[in-house]
Amino acid sequence: MKQTCSAWLLDLYPDSEVGVKLWFLRADGELVCLAHALPVTFYASGTNEQLRALWRFLRRHPLVTQLARTKRRDLFSGSITVLSVTAPTPTAQRRLFYAARAAFPHLTWYDADVPLPLRYTAHYGVFPLARCQITFEGETLLSLESRASPWEHDPKLPPLRVLSLSPDADPAHQTPRFLHITCDKRTYRLALDPPRPLLISLTATLRSYNPDLILAEWGDTWLLPHLLKLSEQWNIPLPLNRDPLLEVEHRKELSYHAYGQIVYRGQSTFLFGRWHVDPRNAMMFGEYVRNPGYGDQ
């Protein structure tokens, strides 16, 4: 049975079977998790001989759904002839592109390594926490229409459930002993040792409160990796992700040059189905106004 409702876009990431998995938050606080088909097309340019060789290489590839010779406009060269390659899902497209690039390193590739969130949001005109009208049947998204603009000065905010976690000390200087937890207008603390009651209590909180955002001090660089390590050692699953089929993702630390200075960003920890923000590791977090009552709206 088809359903249509208004909801905020909370998260999206690749789904290897269908294309994209999306999480929406309705005004009543209920979550909607849907899969959306998203074929992806990318392009290659080169000499006629190179494109013919690429076509022969790809025509029987199991991940290819369509091959076509077409014209596209290059920013510097103008109109050029390219081979368009379509894959059924973003995951398949990445595998297909890496295989083709390895076999044909001298070709020029277009739209081949665009991050999925950017590709999807540009295609459908949405953005994080955009208010949308969605039509779905079962767990399949049938249509998506943005009902918001990123330029709104005072957008209506979604009813985010926020869970705040904060160790009682900076892990870089001393070993924390307690974890302060705030959720649902209630603050309490848990001892970090012994691990078993800590993990059991945190698991119960995550399942009962089911936060949309985990706001964790030193969450990227220490807290969440530490909790996941304890979870593995004690064989007590910690449902940091809403999506039980995926593991928590970690990205390496990096340094980069911006506005005349070297900026260091520690390891990042990403969740699927909910957000994680580390105020100690998020660039310019302290420059933005924090609304302490946001999670209660």
pLDDT tens column, 94-125 = 999 999 999 999 999 999 999 999 999 999 99
91-103 in b/e form (b: 16+ CB < 10 A) is bbbbebbeebeee
What digits encode the pLDDT tens for the residues 16-39? 999 999 999 998 989 999 999 999
Residues 105 and 57 in one domain: yes
In sequence order, what DSSP letters do the residues of 22-67 get, joined into one string? EEEEETTS-EEEEEEE--EEEEEE--HHHHHHHHHHHTT-TT-SEE
Residue written as tokens 């012994």?
Answer: 194
Q: Is 151 domain-assigned?
A: no
Per the structure, the count of domains in the chain is: 3
What integer pLDDT is reported at residue 283 of this predicted model? 62
pLDDT more than 70, % of the chain: 93
What integer pLDDT is reported at residue 222 of this predicted model? 95
CATH at residue 141: 2.40.50.590
Residues 198 and 250 in one domain: yes
In sequence order, what DSSP letters do the residues of 170-234 get, joined into one string? -TTTS---EEEEEETTEEEEEESSSHHHHHHHHHHHHHHH--SEEEETTIIIIIHHHHHHHHHHH
Mean pLDDT (the chain, rounded)? 91
- Mean pLDDT along residues 150-158: 89
Higher pLDDT, 153 or 4: 4
Domain that holds residue 292: 162-296
Residues 240 and 172 in one domain: yes
What integer pLDDT is reported at residue 59 of this predicted model? 93
What integer pLDDT is reported at residue 294 of this predicted model? 42
Residues 132 and 109 in one domain: no
Q: Is 154 domain-assigned?
A: no
pLDDT grade, residue 285 (50/70/90)?
A: low
Residues 141 and 210 in one domain: no
What digits encode the pLDDT tens for the residues 158-197? 999 999 999 999 999 999 999 999 998 899 999 999 999 9
Residues 57 and 86 in one domain: yes
Residues 167 and 280 in one domain: yes
State how far the Cα of 48 lies from the Cα of 69, in Å rounded to an integer: 10
